């Protein structure tokens, strides 16, 4: 190379012909990469824990698609992944890469298969009142009515190939006793399951699809029992649960009975809104949702009582493995509790983890470890991949993984503190353990609670410190005693003391919920934010070396999206009957101040407790942004003018004057506005949200976020 500016002398090149300046720039990167590789190899015992993470990533990837993929996409990706692993098997990490890709593809395939297996007709539009008959699958007693899930329904004037596999109907009439396996008839109004109330909000239609519920509605007549059919296995268990709940309510009145029924049979429908709100705001709602806590308590009581009883029989204790016998008793009892609690997705996960722990005891392994949780998560994802999207799966596994990670870190100090401890120190360690568990689980589940419920319980630690010992040491032992006494008709002697504990717990909940600032509503976190929190939390918990701390900034970044993401300036409901606009102070003005599900969802996702009502005709809001007349309202946000039209008479003028026209009527006239959203648009595409940034307008509809998936049905135009 000729001499000159930028020329490099050959003597300045490294041993591999790379220029020294380049080497000097690459050296820090190479060092970091080598250090990461060494750390990765050192943690080889933790590699298997990432299997369920890869499976979950594949399932999530399937649900994030906006278009349903080819049925062969998952199996093809799975085959290609194995081929990649085989092709690279001679290279370092080649097999690991192939297995990781295969796990992702397997999760994707499981989600595809699950979607196809549950496919069933869904109602296209509202119908009724029509006569509906069907087999009662589930009866949920609520404070004001009963909700029936009817299987194999027959619906008046609806063809068999268009009839849903299941429908869910609310029945207000209380006359007569209904139970699973009965075939009933009633008159009802039925609708398709609801789409999200706003772009990015919870998709009830998707949830209903995987429950095979193709129609929801309300009865306009009492349910008439047509026949008493022979119960199927699942219906027999549901009927037993229904009878047990009735016996509990016969002993315990009001909300004490409703909560006791929820703890023992899983029937939460009888808990009224005030009690639920108090438990949510105090951070105790998890206690009434049967989960790992309850299975752990039930199994622990059965295990230790059985083992202690057998230990008193010296010949048995000396000759037989009483610890394993106790594990079998705990496993059998937990399985009965699992069936009784309804075998729902949360109970399935909890029982599976408990069962693996008991099997570990039978195999002389450590019962509670990250591997046990990993295998449980992998099994759940493969069987029900749609559960990965729900708060129950996310919160339960987040709590368990975080707790095990924390106790892995603190195992040595706990062993040291507990060695030779007396009664006082053991009691102090128990209280400290409850506090630590509550704190760790609360921190781990808080991001997911914020994403799904947009609410944070400020005093959750204090409430749980008081309520969890009552639940573990009093309520659940008496619940077990009640089950033992029920066959003899003596359950009152167990239920009455149990009711005292439930009443104490409810008093704690209502007291803490009444404290100032007990529950704080926060803006909704973005999907990207939730992904960052999840990846960061998993990285922090699954690894053990110091590089695990790299997960902390990811978690912080994900949480920050709740405040950094811009909030919509205008919201329109799916039928244009409700609208809301952004106030100058960041609040919201809503077209209806009356509480309704749509507006309540908007407010919750926005982190606002209440909305202001649109001004009266001829009036203007205090911030001068919104002015209304009898035909609609005019809203100004910076340079953008929005016409909110309620009467078609206003269209001609508003289309000329406004940048955006949002009409509760169909717009059939030429409209020169930059953006026009009318009743037909929201009917076809669902609720809309609009953001303004200077002169820029961004519009997002529910259809934009949902795409074209099996649970997203094309909506016919309104009649």
Asked whether residue 154 falls in the same domain as residue 58, the answer is no
pLDDT at position 609 is 82
pLDDT at position 14 is 46
CB 713 within 8 A of CB 124: yes
Cβ-Cβ contacts under 8 Å for 26 (sequence gap 6 or more): none
Asked whether residue 150 falls in the same domain as residue 82, the answer is no
Domain membership of residue 586 (yes or no) is yes
Q: Is the pTM value of this prediction over 0.75? A: yes
pLDDT at position 675 is 94
pLDDT at 628 over 50: yes
Domain membership of residue 167 (yes or no) is yes
pLDDT at 341 over 70: yes
Asked whether residue 141 falls in the same domain as residue 180, the answer is yes
At CA 287, angle to CA 514 and CA 306, rounded to 5?
A: 145
Domain membership of residue 431 (yes or no) is yes
Asked whether residue 509 falls in the same domain as residue 550, the answer is no
Domain membership of residue 702 (yes or no) is yes
Alpha helices (H) in 363-422, listed in sequence order:
370-383, 391-418
Domain membership of residue 4 (yes or no) is no
Asked whether residue 273 falls in the same domain as residue 324, the answer is yes
pLDDT at 10 over 50: no
Cβ-Cβ contacts under 8 Å for 17 (sequence gap 6 or more): none
Mind listing the pLDDT tens digit for each residue in 675-713? 999 999 999 899 999 999 988 999 999 999 998 999 998
588-590: strand order across its sheet: 612-613, 588-590, 579-582, 570-572, 688-693, 696-701
> Given pLDDT bands bounded at 50, 70 and 90, which one contains residue 596?
confident
Question: For the chain, what is the radius of gyration of the CA atoms?
Answer: 29
Domain membership of residue 714 (yes or no) is no
Asked whether residue 397 falls in the same domain as residue 483, the answer is yes
Asked whether residue 250 falls in the same domain as residue 270, the answer is yes
Q: How far apart are CA 199 and CA 456, in angstroms?
A: 22
Two tokens at 395?
């919160």
Domain membership of residue 182 (yes or no) is yes
Domain boundary among 230, 253, 277: 230
pLDDT at position 575 is 87
Query: Range of 532's domain?
Result: 527-564
Evaluated on CA atoms 173, 176, 177, 181, the torsion sign reads: negative
pLDDT at 591 over 50: yes
Query: 231: helix, coil or strand?
Result: coil
Beta carbons within 10 angstroms of residue 545's beta carbon:
12
Percent of the chain topping pLDDT 90: 48
Domain boundary among 87, 117, 147: 117
pLDDT at position 54 is 97
Asked whether residue 305 falls in the same domain as residue 370, the answer is yes
Q: Which of 649, 639, 589 is nearest to 619 (CA)?
A: 589
State how many domains the chain has. Answer: 5
> Given pLDDT bands bounded at 50, 70 and 90, which one contains residue 474?
very high
Alpha-carbon dihedral angle through residues 664, 678, 695, 568, given to the nearest 10 degrees: 60
Token pair 């960041």 in the structure block, residue? 586
Q: How far apart are CA 67 and CA 682, in angstroms?
A: 20
Asked whether residue 366 falls in the same domain as residue 512, the answer is yes
CATH code: domain of residue 182: 2.40.50
Mind listing the pLDDT tens digit for each residue in 176-206? 578 888 899 999 999 999 999 999 999 999 9
Asked whether residue 330 falls in the same domain as residue 268, the answer is yes
Ranges 70-74, 137-141, 282-286, 535-539: which has the least confidence: 137-141
At CA 200, angle to CA 195 and CA 205, rounded to 5?
A: 25
Ranges 38-47, 67-76, 345-354: which has the least confidence: 345-354
Q: How far apart are CA 610 and CA 608, in angstroms?
A: 6
Domain membership of residue 505 (yes or no) is yes
Mind listing the pLDDT tens digit for each residue in 244-274? 888 998 999 889 999 999 888 877 778 888 8
Mind listing the pLDDT tens digit for each residue in 382-432? 999 999 998 888 988 898 899 999 988 888 887 777 777 777 777 777 778
- Find the mean pLDDT for residues 19-23: 53
Asked whether residue 468 falls in the same domain as residue 421, the answer is yes
Asked whether residue 283 falls in the same domain as residue 368, the answer is yes
Two tokens at 424?
């006082």
Two tokens at 161?
């190939």
Cβ-Cβ contacts under 8 Å for 309 (sequence gap 6 or more): none
Mind listing the pLDDT tens digit for each residue in 28-57? 777 778 888 888 889 999 999 999 999 999
CB 510 within 8 A of CB 537: no
Domain boundary among 66, 85, 117: 117
Two tokens at 318?
């000396």
């Amino acid at each position: 190379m000729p001499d000159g500016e930028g020329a490099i002398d050959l003597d300045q090149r490294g041993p591999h012909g790379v220029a020294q300046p380049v080497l000097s720039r690459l050296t820090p990167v190479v060092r970091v990469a080598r250090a990461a590789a060494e750390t990765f190899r050192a943690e080889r015992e933790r590699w298997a824990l990432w299997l369920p993470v890869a499976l979950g990533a594949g399932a999530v990837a399937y649900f994030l698609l906006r278009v349903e993929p080819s049925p062969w996409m998952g199996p093809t990706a799975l085959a290609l992944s194995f081929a990649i692993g085989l092709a690279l098997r001679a290279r370092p990490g080649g097999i690991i890469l192939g297995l990781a890709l295969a796990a992702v593809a397997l999760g994707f395939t499981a989600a595809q298969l699950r979607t196809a297996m549950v496919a069933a007709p869904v109602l296209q539009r509202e119908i009724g009142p029509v006569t509906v008959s069907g087999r009662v699958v589930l009866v949920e007693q609520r404070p004001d009515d009963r909700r029936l899930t009817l299987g194999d329904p027959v619906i008046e004037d609806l063809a068999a190939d268009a009839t849903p596999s299941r429908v869910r109907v609310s029945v207000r009439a209380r006359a007569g006793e209904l139970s699973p396996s009965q075939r009933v008839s009633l008159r009802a109004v039925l609708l398709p399951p609801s789409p999200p109330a706003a772009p990015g909000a919870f998709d009830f239609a998707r949830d209903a699809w995987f429950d095979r519920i193709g129609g929801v509605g309300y009865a306009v007549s009492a349910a008439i029992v047509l026949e008493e059919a022979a119960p199927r296995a699942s219906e027999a268990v549901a009927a037993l649960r229904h009878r047990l709940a009735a016996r509990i309510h016969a002993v315990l009145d009001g909300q004490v009975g409703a909560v006791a029924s929820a703890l023992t049979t899983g029937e939460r429908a009888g808990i009224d809104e005030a009690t639920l709100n108090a438990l949510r705001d105090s951070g105790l709602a998890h206690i009434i949702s049967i989960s790992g806590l309850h299975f752990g308590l039930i199994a622990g009581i059965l295990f230790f009582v059985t083992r202690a009883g057998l230990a008193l029989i010296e010949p048995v204790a000396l000759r037989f493995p009483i610890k394993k016998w106790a594990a079998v008793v705990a496993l059998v009892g937990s399985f009965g509790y699992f069936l009784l609690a309804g075998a729902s997705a949360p109970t399935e996960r909890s029982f599976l983890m408990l069962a693996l722990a008991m099997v570990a005891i039978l195999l002389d392994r450590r019962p509670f470890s990250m591997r046990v949780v990993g295998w449980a998560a992998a099994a759940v994802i493969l069987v029900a991949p749609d559960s990965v999207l729900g708060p129950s799966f996310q919160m339960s596994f987040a709590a368990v993984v975080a707790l095990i990670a924390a106790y892995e870190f603190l195992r040595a100090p706990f062993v040291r503190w507990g060695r030779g401890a007396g009664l006082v120190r053991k009691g102090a360690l128990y209280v400290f353990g409850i506090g630590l568990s509550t704190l760790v689980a609360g921190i781990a589940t808080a991001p997911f609670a914020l994403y799904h419920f947009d609410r944070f319980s400020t005093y959750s630690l204090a409430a749980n410190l008081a309520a969890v010992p009552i639940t573990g040491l009093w309520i659940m032992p008496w619940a077990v005693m009640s089950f033992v006494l029920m066959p003899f008709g003596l359950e009152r002697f167990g239920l009455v003391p149990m009711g005292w504990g439930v009443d104490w717990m409810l008093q704690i909940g209502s007291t803490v919920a009444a404290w100032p600032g007990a529950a704080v509503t926060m803006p909704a976190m973005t999907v990207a934010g939730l992904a960052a929190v999840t990846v960061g939390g998993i990285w922090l918990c699954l690894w053990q070396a110091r590089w695990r701390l790299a997960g902390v900034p990811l978690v912080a970044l994900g949480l920050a999206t709740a405040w950094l993401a811009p909030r919509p300036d205008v919201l329109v409901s799916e039928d244009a009957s409700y609208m809301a606009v952004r106030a100058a102070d960041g609040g919201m003005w809503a077209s209806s101040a009356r509480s309704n599900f749509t507006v309540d969802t908007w407010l919750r996702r926005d982190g606002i407790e209440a909305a202001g009502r649109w001004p009266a005709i001829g009036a203007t809001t205090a911030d001068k942004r919104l002015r209304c007349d009898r035909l609609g309202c005019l809203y100004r946000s910076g340079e953008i003018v929005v016409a909110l039209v309620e009467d078609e008479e206003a269209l001609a003028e508003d289309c000329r004057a406004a940048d955006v026209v949002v009409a509760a009527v169909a717009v059939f006239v030429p409209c020169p506005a930059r953006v026009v959203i009318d009743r037909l648009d929201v009917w076809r595409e669902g609720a809309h949200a609009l953001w303004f940034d200077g002169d820029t307008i961004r519009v997002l509809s529910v259809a934009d976020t949902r795409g074209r998936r099996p649970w997203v049905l094309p909506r016919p135009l309104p009649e």
